Chains A and B, each alone.
Chain A
């Protein structure tokens, strides 16, 4: 599914990713943990194609295709989805209009029939119900004035609607109450199948009780310094990062 080889990236002359290697197969869930400022969001942004990074070395293959040369929209159409750590407020842009445009853009790319307004509404309302989002959100501008938790749930709604093959969730659990956490996790688990994969960036082992990872990686200072199974998350919860950092 995803093959990251020796990925190095810098921004404004500052080297942030210093050689990341990561291999994610279809059907797998990978968790990435690591202290603040270690480069987790940077990795997510580079995967999604945000501009402003200088990729100094390495490659990223999605189903065998080099995506580093692709625009953000091409990557999204090829199945990459980033749930933002800080979803952007877009005043004045109606949520329904935005989401339907996005869904149809991606359906078109996949050769699926575009959804008319009725079909779209029916689908989105079902998904919103599952995520505990009130229908009135559809009438509001994208993320504008949403609470922190509402923004995160809205990311998951978008993910559900776009049905990506590779979803990268950047701290989607931060700021969620316990119930919302379970709802969001359920959303991710429902999406999961043998043909897609998820990368879950988090600071808390708690989330991984709900979204059970096949692998856990620790990112520190732009490198993955440790990988393991889900028990690694428990160790980190208990011991923090110091013991790993000293070793590295």
Chain B
């Protein structure tokens, strides 16, 4: 177990380099390069346009301890049985503080040629694919991840194959001690006409201020269809930094659902590269914050080919002194004619002290496109409340029904039926029990 902090590691090249080398020779160039980039840039600050509303101070000001070694703490099967989606028939890869737990993982016979494995055991074969999509991004957190990631999921669905059941990626954080920092890397490749459903859960076991820095690359081949549901449901001190990079082939369909249900600070960078025609890309998210939590979704959807659809729907419910941040940039390049891009961000404020910074942004260089965006921040719609009351429902029931609807709008876009039902209950239960609904 190393006692160095993530900042020390970055600031003391010799130490950091030794630490990296201890991780093995695979990917050494990527790791060195990541370290060099990070040393060059340092952490982003709120002077940086992309981080204007979200300060990384909770992350940078603590002496963070990178979780280079697996935790010794044993985690029982009962823990797994208690988490969301565990009662569904899925394959399951479980990681604890960024290290695979073979005991808790469970992989069935998937279809011919499908790979569902951890990344660390396959490094030699996939070395050249890691960083292929995230590499160009200047985000210092990616550089940090390049340098220090321990493990994560590696999923490969060959052409014309489908996952025979959803794959559930479970990321557990022991969070026994403030400052524990996990670095996780996922690589998902669906070849032409491949199909599948992937669930991704991030769950804190302890209450300490632990952090995770996750980088996920998803590459979808022509005509492939992937539904990716992320549930980030951590403790009120947890720090969750994530970055998703997707590259989609012609006529590919990608639905990414983000449920950010709690952390001191959560940040999801979503980077969609639509460089082939006929793509349908949906980013659909719900964030719910209370106390002093902050949830930030920051996306860039780049339309670089004609006939693509991209839809972004994000709803937020904010209570107490919490904050929501939404940044949605849609870039339509000159060649991306017939683009259909739509973006909405709706925020429901339950307390006078909660705040939202929303910034939908369209940047269009093609002339034959259909692009809309809109953002709302406010309370429940009075006309809707009256409509329900005029049908005999009391005002409390009416308000709850509308709030349920507000979350339901997002939840109902999940295609997988039973997962959708479970998330509906989970989200609603959370609101009923932990938020000020009246």
Q: Is A51 within 8 A of B405, CB to CB?
A: no
Q: Is B402 within 8 A of A162, CB to CB?
A: no
Q: With A92-B408, A93-B402, A93-B408 given, is the CB distance from A51 to B392 under 8 Å?
A: no
Instruction: Judge if A82 is at the interface, Cβ distance under 8 Å.
Output: yes
Question: Quick one: which of B384, B393, B408, B412 contacts A88, CB cutoff 8 A?
Answer: B384
Q: Is B392 within 8 A of A82, CB to CB?
A: no
Q: Is B409 within 8 A of A92, CB to CB?
A: yes
- Chain B nearest CB, measured from A230 CB (Å): 28
Q: Is B391 within 8 A of A102, CB to CB?
A: yes
Instruction: Judge if A125 is at the interface, Cβ distance under 8 Å.
Output: no
Which residues of chain B are near A50, meaning CB under 8 Å? 386, 390
Which residue of A is nearest B408, CB measured? A92
Q: Is A49 within 8 A of B390, CB to CB?
A: yes
How many residues of A are counted as interface, with CB atoms below 8 angstroms from the partner's CB atoms? 30
Q: With A73-B395, A102-B392, A102-B393 given, is the CB distance from A88 to B405 under 8 Å?
A: no
- Chain A nearest CB, measured from B324 CB (Å): 18
**Distance in angstroms between the alpha carbons of A34 and B62 in the assembled complex:** 71
Which residues of chain B are near A120, meaning CB under 8 Å? none
Q: With A77-B392, A101-B393, A102-B391 given, is the CB distance from A92 to B406 under 8 Å?
A: yes
**Distance in angstroms between the alpha carbons of A73 and B394 in the assembled complex:** 6
Which residue of B is nearest A98, CB measured? B401
Which residues of chain B are near A105, meaning CB under 8 Å? 391-394, 397
Q: Is A92 within 8 A of B407, CB to CB?
A: yes
Q: Within residues 71 to 102 of chain A, which ones have a CB less than 8 A from any CB in chain B?
A: 71-73, 75-77, 81-82, 84, 87-88, 90-94, 97-98, 101-102
Question: Quick one: which of A77, A88, A94, A98 contacts B383, CB cutoff 8 A?
Answer: A88
Instruction: Judge if A141 is at the interface, Cβ distance under 8 Å.
Output: yes
**Distance in angstroms between the alpha carbons of A49 and B389 in the assembled complex:** 9
Q: Is A106 within 8 A of B392, CB to CB?
A: yes
Question: Quick one: which of A71, A97, A141, A162 contacts B391, CB cutoff 8 A?
Answer: A162
Q: Interface 1/0s, chain B 368-399, versus A by CB < 8 A?
A: 00000000000001111011111111110110
- Chain A nearest CB, measured from B409 CB (Å): 4
Instruction: Judge if A156 is at the interface, Cβ distance under 8 Å.
Output: no
Which residues of chain B are near A109, meaning CB under 8 Å? 392
Instruction: Judge if B292 is at the interface, Cβ distance under 8 Å.
Output: no
Instruction: Judge if B404 is at the interface, Cβ distance under 8 Å.
Output: yes
Which residues of chain B are near A73, meaning CB under 8 Å? 389-390, 392-395, 398
Which residues of chain A are near B382, meaning CB under 8 Å? 51
Q: With A48-B390, A73-B393, A102-B391 given, is the CB distance from A94 to B408 under 8 Å?
A: yes
Q: Is A93 within 8 A of B404, CB to CB?
A: yes
Q: Is B389 within 8 A of A72, CB to CB?
A: yes
Q: Is B390 within 8 A of A82, CB to CB?
A: yes
Instruction: Judge if A196 is at the interface, Cβ distance under 8 Å.
Output: no
Which residues of chain A are near B412, meaning CB under 8 Å? 92, 141
Interface centre among A51, A71, A98 (most CB of B within 10 A): A98
Which residues of chain A are near B395, meaning CB under 8 Å? 71, 73
Which residue of B is nearest A101, CB measured? B393
Instruction: Judge if A158 is at the interface, Cβ distance under 8 Å.
Output: yes
Q: Is B397 within 8 A of A101, CB to CB?
A: yes
Q: Is B391 within 8 A of A51, CB to CB?
A: no
Q: Is B386 within 8 A of A72, CB to CB?
A: yes
Which residues of chain B are near A158, meaning CB under 8 Å? 391
Q: Is A93 within 8 A of B386, CB to CB?
A: no
Q: Is A76 within 8 A of B409, CB to CB?
A: no
Q: Interface 1/0s, chain B 283-297, versus A by CB < 8 A?
A: 000000000000000
**Distance in angstroms between the alpha carbons of A94 and B388 in the assembled complex:** 13
- Chain B nearest CB, measured from A169 CB (Å): 13
Q: With A71-B395, A73-B395, A101-B397 given, is the CB distance from A92 to B405 under 8 Å?
A: yes
Q: With A50-B386, A51-B386, A72-B386 given, is the CB distance from A93 to B401 under 8 Å?
A: yes
**Distance in angstroms between the alpha carbons of A88 and B405 in the assembled complex:** 13
Q: Is A91 within 8 A of B397, CB to CB?
A: no
Q: Is B397 within 8 A of A90, CB to CB?
A: no
- Chain A nearest CB, measured from B48 CB (Å): 35
**Distance in angstroms between the alpha carbons of A50 and B407 in the assembled complex:** 26
Which residues of chain B are near A106, meaning CB under 8 Å? 392
**Distance in angstroms between the alpha carbons of A8 and B389 in the assembled complex:** 23
- Chain A nearest CB, measured from B259 CB (Å): 15
Which residues of chain A are near B393, meaning CB under 8 Å? 73, 101-102, 105
**Distance in angstroms between the alpha carbons of A107 and B345 in the assembled complex:** 38
Q: Is A72 within 8 A of B390, CB to CB?
A: yes
- Chain A nearest CB, measured from B390 CB (Å): 5
Which residues of chain A are near B392, meaning CB under 8 Å? 73, 76-77, 102, 105-106, 109, 162
Q: Within residues 129 to 166 of chain B, which ones have a CB less than 8 A from any CB in chain A?
A: none
Q: Is B391 within 8 A of A93, CB to CB?
A: no
**Distance in angstroms between the alpha carbons of A106 and B394 in the assembled complex:** 11
Which residues of chain B are near A162, meaning CB under 8 Å? 391-392
**Distance in angstroms between the alpha carbons of A105 and B393 in the assembled complex:** 7
Q: Within residues 329 to 386 of chain B, which ones have a CB less than 8 A from any CB in chain A?
A: 381-384, 386
Which residues of chain A are near B397, meaning CB under 8 Å? 101, 105
Which residues of chain A are near B390, meaning CB under 8 Å? 48-50, 72-73, 75-76, 81-82, 84
Which residues of chain B are near A101, meaning CB under 8 Å? 393, 397, 401
Q: With A93-B401, A93-B405, A101-B401 given, is the CB distance from A88 to B389 under 8 Å?
A: no
Q: With A92-B404, A92-B408 given, is the CB distance from A76 to B383 under 8 Å?
A: no
**Distance in angstroms between the alpha carbons of A84 and B386 in the assembled complex:** 11
Q: Is A84 within 8 A of B387, CB to CB?
A: yes
Q: Is A90 within 8 A of B407, CB to CB?
A: no
Q: Is B391 within 8 A of A90, CB to CB?
A: no
Question: Quick one: which of B387, B389, B394 contacts A90, CB cutoff 8 A?
Answer: B387
Q: With A92-B404, A98-B401 given, is the CB distance from A71 to B389 under 8 Å?
A: yes
A-B pairs, top 4 by smallest CB distance, nearest first, are A92-B405, A92-B408, A92-B409, A93-B405
Additional 15 contacts, C-beta under 8 A, given A73-B394, A90-B384, A97-B401: A48-B386, A49-B389, A73-B398, A82-B390, A88-B381, A88-B383, A88-B384, A91-B406, A92-B410, A93-B401, A102-B392, A102-B393, A106-B392, A141-B409, A162-B391
Q: 12 interchain pairs (CB within 8 A)?
A: A49-B390, A73-B390, A73-B394, A73-B398, A77-B392, A90-B405, A91-B406, A92-B404, A92-B407, A98-B388, A105-B397, A141-B405
